[in-house]
Amino acid sequence: MAHTHTKRESSGLLLLIAGLLPLVLGLLFTFFEAQQNVKRQQVAAADALLTQTETVTQNAWDMINQLKQYTDDKCVNPMRKIQQLGSLSAYFRAVGTFSGPNVTCSSAFGRNPGTLSQMVLGKMPAHPYDWMYSIGGTYGVPHRPAVLFMHQLPSSKGVYVVVEGQYLMDFMRAIGAQRGYQLTLRVNGGYTIQTGHVEPDDNLLFSGSTYRAESQRFPISVSVTSSKAEALKNWRQAFFIFLPLAIILSLLCMLLAVNWLKHRLSWRDELRKGIRNGEFLVHYQPVWQVEERRCAGVEALLRWQRHDGRQVRPDMFIAAAEAEGMIIPLTRHLLNIIADEAQTWSVAPGFHLGVNVAAEHIQHPDFLADIRQFAARLREKQMIITLELTERSLIHEGPEVANKLATLRREGIRVAIDDFGTGHCSLSYLQNFQLDYLKIDRGFINAIESLEGETPVLDAIISLSHKLALEVLGEGVETPLQFEYLKNHGVNYIQGYLYARPLNSAALMAWLTKKGSLPPGTPD
């Protein structure tokens, strides 16, 4: 009852996770996507502003080039030309010539224009021959920024161009208005020309951000600051684009989960049906006893032959039966089949019969009764029943399991540890449990490469079993070399394709008469 209850709870949890996971991941994705989007838009805005400013700058330098020829003239001659050039482009506030600190000729103020410092409303910084910088205003237009371009000759005469800041600001407003950006433009570390305003904020999820960029061609730097509202707007957009997809995805995941759960349930039903319809068979794999030079007995291995002819691999259906709480009924079924089939056998007393037992079964209150009933049905045959347990069955179990096994051993049942070496690292259970055999996993046998070669782990396992006075069996022996090696190292039993494959009951009886006493590897 409790079992079904937790099962139902874990199914619900699985469904919940399947449904929520895409939504949560999607939500995270939208945050990321929105951030990337804001960044992309900022980069585009910064690029546009830089490109435009570069074009204006290039035009200003071109203008300077044209003006250069007038530096030596008296202002009278070039005046017309200067005024003409100055009014050619809408974005020049003024153009002119200078000599030392004085403006000698100006498109705005004619022949009496004052000093350069007066014009830029401040001290002129020391500068090289060609230079440019942004300023807060000029004499004629004191409250509107501008960009000043100057070309000075070694004679300290030169020409200048003042680019109208309003022009740049209009452009900045045009690209910043839609997304509410705050844009700045600064030339050569001069005055910062700015449009728009963004409140600073420290919201954790959504916050404004600033992107800065610099021109590769001129000393121009720009920045684009976006607001929290912009971040939120972008996230909302990403969210509504993604939401339908996330819903579909989460429905799909839930569908998969439901399918999987159904499939899981169907394993249980299929196993039940398989038992009812007699789809399970038992094969018996002979074991060679080295010292006595004869077949010592067999290990019973379960087979599932579906009604449609398909075979299900034992490791698959055993694992499914264990996961679905079906291993105990399945093992009882197995014991029944064995007991039925063994009635027809003619074997010498002391013939070994190995049966694999799952951990869950050993803990079950009916375990002793199940095994005793099985043993009772075989009593007449005087076989030695060996329970094969994996390390996993023993390692977590306390005295209760140890007591059960001790009781069964007193009644003549033997205990083998199966797949030794593949389970847990702790060997303490070897002292806590009374065991009879140790079955070395196929993996270690495979490591044997030559008779003289070293297989340290295998050798250690063999000598450990000798020290513990356990009889030792080598599993999955496929080659004469492996057989020879194990024999030389004092392994007592050999099981594997070299000696015999698992056979059904009738085939086993025929095989025993014909080959039971021929050593492993004897040709047919």
Min CB(18)–ligand C2E separation in Å: 31
- Residue 358 binds what, of Ca ion, ligand C2E, none (CB under 5 to 8 Å, by partner type)? ligand C2E
Say if CB 382 and CB 349 are below 8 A apart.
Answer: yes
- Residue closer to Ca ion by CB (options 230, 441) is 441
Question: Can you tell me whether residue 144 is helix, strand or coil?
Answer: coil
Q: Which residue matches tokens 């159904």? A: 262
Min CB(39)–ligand C2E separation in Å: 57
Nearest partner of 119 among 81, 161, 61, 80, judged by Cα? 161
- Residue 496 binds what, of Ca ion, ligand C2E, none (CB under 5 to 8 Å, by partner type)? ligand C2E
Min CB(367)–ligand C2E separation in Å: 13
Exposure b/e, 322-334, CB count within 10 A at least 16 = b: bebebbbebbbbb
Task: Give 289's strand partners.
Answer: 294, 493
- Residue closer to ligand C2E by CB (options 196, 496) is 496
Q: Which of residues 33, 324, 418, 471 is near Ca ion by CB under 5 A?
A: 418
Calculated CA dihedral for residues 218, 223, 224, 226, nearest 10 degrees: 170
Q: Which of residues 324, 388, 391, 471 is near Ca ion by CB under 5 A?
A: 388
Q: How far apart are CA 321 and CA 299, in angstroms?
A: 20
The set of residues, in sequence order, having a beta carbon less than 8 Å from that of 144 and lying 6+ positions away, is 137, 164, 165, 166
- Residue closer to ligand C2E by CB (options 351, 499) is 499
Min CB(17)–ligand C2E separation in Å: 31
Q: Which of residues 33, 270, 341, 419 is near Ca ion by CB under 5 A?
A: 419
Question: Can you tell me whether residue 206 is helix, strand or coil?
Answer: coil
Q: How far apart are CA 400 and CA 391, in angstroms?
A: 16
CB burial of residue 86 (10 Å; 0-12, 13-18, 19+): buried
Q: DSSP readout, 250-284?
A: HHHHHHHHHHHHHHHHHHHHHHHHHHHTT-EEEEE
How far, in Å, are 142, 173, 317, 489 from residue 103 at the CA level?
17, 33, 98, 109
The set of residues, in sequence order, having a beta carbon less than 8 Å from that of 21 and lying 6+ positions away, is 250, 253
CB burial of residue 507 (10 Å; 0-12, 13-18, 19+): middle
Q: How far apart are CA 474 and CA 359, in angstroms?
A: 22
Question: Can you tell me whether residue 111 is helix, strand or coil?
Answer: coil
Min CB(430)–ligand C2E separation in Å: 19
**Residue 393 within binding range of Ca ion, rule CB under 5 A:** no
- Residue 325 binds what, of Ca ion, ligand C2E, none (CB under 5 to 8 Å, by partner type)? none
Min CB(33)–ligand C2E separation in Å: 49
Q: How far apart are CA 132 and CA 125, in angstroms?
A: 11
- Residue 94 binds what, of ligand C2E, Ca ion, none (CB under 5 to 8 Å, by partner type)? none
Mark the segment that binds Ca ion (CB under 5 A) among 6-14, 78-86, 106-114, 419-427. Answer: 419-427
Min CB(318)–ligand C2E separation in Å: 4
- Residue closer to ligand C2E by CB (options 208, 474) is 474
- Residue closer to Ca ion by CB (options 182, 356) is 356
> At residue 487, what are phi and psi to the nearest 5 degrees?
-60, -45
- Contact positions toward ligand C2E, by CB under 6 A? 285, 301-302, 314-315, 318, 334, 356, 358, 418-419, 442, 475-478, 496-497, 502
- Residue 302 binds what, of Ca ion, ligand C2E, none (CB under 5 to 8 Å, by partner type)? ligand C2E
Q: How far apart are CA 379 and CA 345, in angstroms?
A: 13
SS3 assignment for 155-172: CCEEEEEEEEHHHHHHHH
- Residue closer to Ca ion by CB (options 67, 462) is 462
The two tokens of residue 176 are 């910043």
- Residue closer to ligand C2E by CB (options 233, 333) is 333
Min CB(313)–ligand C2E separation in Å: 6
Min CB(419)–Ca ion separation in Å: 4
**Residue 356 within binding range of Ca ion, rule CB under 5 A:** yes
- Residue closer to Ca ion by CB (options 33, 388) is 388
Min CB(509)–ligand C2E separation in Å: 19
- Residue 314 binds what, of Ca ion, ligand C2E, none (CB under 5 to 8 Å, by partner type)? ligand C2E
The set of residues, in sequence order, having a beta carbon less than 8 Å from that of 170 and lying 6+ positions away, is none
Of 460-499, which residues contact Ca ion (CB under 5 A)?
Answer: 475
- Residue closer to ligand C2E by CB (options 397, 419) is 419
- Residue closer to ligand C2E by CB (options 187, 298) is 298
Min CB(422)–Ca ion separation in Å: 9
- Residue 93 binds what, of Ca ion, ligand C2E, none (CB under 5 to 8 Å, by partner type)? none
- Residue 458 binds what, of Ca ion, ligand C2E, none (CB under 5 to 8 Å, by partner type)? none
Q: Please count the residues of the chain.
A: 524
Give the binding site for Ca ion (CB under 5 A). Answer: 356, 388, 418-419, 475
